[in-house]
Amino acid sequence: MEDRIIKTEYSEVMQKSYIDYAMSVIVARALPDVRDGLKPVQRRTLYDMHELGIRYDKPYRKSARIVGDTMGKYHPHGDSSIYDALVVMSQDFKKGLPLVDGHGNFGNIEGDGAAAMRYTEARLAKVAQEGLLSDLDKDVVDFMPNFDETEQEPTVLPARFPNLLVNGTEGIAVGMATNIPPHNLNEIIDATKAYIKDSQITTTDMMRYVKGPDFPTGGIVINKDELPEIYATGMGKIKIRGKVEIEKAKGGRLLLVVTEIPFTMIGQNITKFLQDVAGLVETKKTTDIVDISNQSSKEGIRIVIELKKDTDVENFTNMLYKKTRLEDTFGVNMLAIANGRPETMGIYDIIRHNVDFQFEVTRRKYTTLLRKEREKKEVQEGLIKACNVIDLIIEILRGSKDRAMAKECLVHGVTDNINFKSKESKIMAGMLLFTERQADAILELKLYRLIGLEIDALKKDYEETTANIYRYEDILDRRDSMAQVIMNDLDSIKKQYGRARRTVIENASEAVFEEKKIEEMDVVFLMDRFGYIKTIDTNTFERNKEAAYAENAHVVMCKNTGKICAFTNTGNVHTIKVTDLPYGRFRDKGVPIDNVSNYDSKVEDIVFIASQSELNLYRMLFVTKKAMIKFVSGGEFDVSKRTVAATKLMDDDEVVSVAVFRDQKYVVLQTVQGMFLKFLLEEVPEKKKAAIGVRAMKLKGTDSIEAVYYGNAIEPNTVEYRERELDLNRMKCAKRDGLGTKIKA
């Protein structure tokens, strides 16, 4: 038993296991091969459809049939990944050249998913059949056993064009990711031909053919000058904008119509865009919008924003570019599997790998064709020779006892035991010496082939075979000839499947817009007990003043251009712009404070709320559960960040009270165990917000501060404590950091 136990370092086992797992995900799941531009699941799905005979000119078949067969034979990783791959390969708004012809609901550009696989049907697109799967029967690529070694599958498909660039891809592996934009087929083929003609071509020269990405959704790429660097390194950021048009509606109103969207807006981001535009109205970033509607259909994208007559359309459009995803960034990372390893490549290297693969595929194809033509020529020569001595052949056949005897005579000239009409025939039969293949063809020859026209056709076929052999040998012997064959294939694909560019490539200046200045006015901030917040105008507040204080936990006077600061028990202060808050009627519900700030009601509680303008005028007084106290200048909280630390806390401590210091003279601390300590605020030092403060009261055991009261000894100040009223003004003043006095109920 001990001999079977292998002792090794645990970290080494983990490292090796993780590397094996990572490489498996990288190579066998998530990243495409640079040669055919396909991930394994895509390659297996297309090959399975090819094997099932679901060609572009055949009827559609149920997607569930394709998925099940693929999973059972080649890809045992679950049906959802296979169906998802099938769906994406059929979506013309994601792929520049869809490889699957889908029939049924295969989702849409607005993010609605495809129907279940039992409802949809599919078949191979013509370009997939002719551009990726042709010539598989000619030994052009290597095959390998499938997962259970019951089937054979291709290691790569014999792609006739750089599919990786044409269709693009995206994928997340372990520790790396790929994101390659789609390109125009015509441009990629032109660049590929340019490389074949001159392998020393530079990326800059290639960019004369490939203008940039060509997204199925169109749009405008606005950083043209940065593209050469991106395509040289294989990494960078492409800035894309949607395309807008201006139309006039009835009544003189303007319609800003989005006709093309950024590629990154596909799916739920269209809904997000509509919500963002509506949010611009709610937060008063603009008052120009009258209405917004999504009128998109199968004919294309049409998002209509109705504007007021006097709208500055250019400024408004720039605002959309800055504040919404109508202008977005596509992060390029051209990572693919090359020579069995993940590699980040520029456009030159991708095309180089693809062209090298094209030459290998073409060499193997014409080697196979040459072998078959030579075999065919051998048979044709034998048949022509046999037709010239057909009477002797018939005599051999009639004189033989069986097929083996006749074949032995035809191949080796063995005439023993064969009955001939004459000695001359026997001598001539011994001199025939056909090859094995020729002899078999002669023995299987049908009598109608002896008709004169058939013999002429045989000779014509022989001439054609001889010409094919000469052509194939020329292709295999001369690189220029093979290069011309590859370029002819590329031209054929370009002619059949090429289309005009959709995405405009240009240099555009950064979108700049001027925000309309909001007329400053006084408003009232309200927050109810459930954390819903809103603002109302001062006149509405005055009419509902009593209800406002009764129904809300916080009521703060502020400016509509200012900020609200919310201090929490965790020692943070969250800043909220008043313009981000809904402004309306007193009975409006408002929005949860969690939605407009970093405040999280699940893990912290609000202790105090004030306007930023008020804080700038005063000092803030902090008291914690462990009796730490300090003053902080309110101006320290006038920051641009949405959340900062308002005070430093000790372990297991939290803020109990935050107050604005105006005319208060003393503070009274009350503990959980009923200890009270009153002392003058002049004993409290001012500290920075990053300081803990000083001790305000000595606490016994697990006692902690429960409540904090302030007063000025002039105005009445009574509190109720355990059904008893305490007059804080009459309470004796002590020194800070004392034990306090026990007050019994």
Tell me the pLDDT tens digit for each residue of 466-499: 999 999 999 999 999 999 999 999 999 999 999 9
C-beta atoms surrounding 377 within 10 Å: 16
Q: Which residue has the tokens 């749009």?
A: 219
Catalytic residue numbers read: 119
Average pLDDT over the chain reads 89
pLDDT band at 168 (very low <50, low <70, confident <90, very high): very high
Taking only the tens place, the pLDDT of each residue in 269-308 is 888 899 889 888 877 778 888 899 999 888 889 999 999 8
pLDDT band at 330 (very low <50, low <70, confident <90, very high): very high
Distance CA 215, CA 94 (A): 8
> How do beta strands 143-145 and 152-154 pair?
antiparallel
Identify whether the C-beta of residue 646 lies closer than 8 Å to the C-beta of residue 659. Answer: no
Higher pLDDT, 5 or 246: 246
User: Does residue 385 have a pLDDT over 60?
Assistant: yes
Number of H helices, E strands in the chain: 21, 35
Residue 239 makes CB contacts below 8 A (sequence gap 6+) with: 221, 222, 223, 327, 328, 329, 330
pLDDT band at 3 (very low <50, low <70, confident <90, very high): low
pLDDT at 453: 58
Higher pLDDT, 426 or 29: 426
pLDDT at 419: 81
Taking only the tens place, the pLDDT of each residue in 12-53 is 777 776 666 666 666 667 789 999 999 999 999 999 999 999
CATH class, domain 31-156, is: alpha beta
Identify whether the C-beta of residue 528 lies closer than 8 Å to the C-beta of residue 550. Answer: no
Sketch the domain layout of the chain as residue ranges. 31-156, 243-325, 357-496, 522-742
Topology of domain 522-742 in CATH is Neuraminidase (2.120.10)
Q: Which residue has the tokens 């693919």?
A: 336
Q: What is the mean pLDDT of residues 329-354?
A: 93
User: Does residue 1 have a pLDDT over 60?
Assistant: no
Structure tokens at 535: 């603002």
pLDDT at 61: 96
Q: What is the mean pLDDT of residues 393-399?
A: 81
Same-fold call for 357-496 versus 522-742: no
Topology of domain 243-325 in CATH is Gyrase A; domain 2 (3.30.1360)
CATH class, domain 357-496, is: mainly alpha
Taking only the tens place, the pLDDT of each residue in 676-721 is 999 999 999 999 998 999 999 999 989 999 999 998 888 888 888 8
Distance (Å) of CA 690 to CA 638, 646, 660, 673: 15, 7, 18, 30
- Give how far the C-alpha of residue 664 lies from the chain's centroid of Cα atoms, to the nearest Å: 58
Share of the chain above pLDDT 90, in %: 60
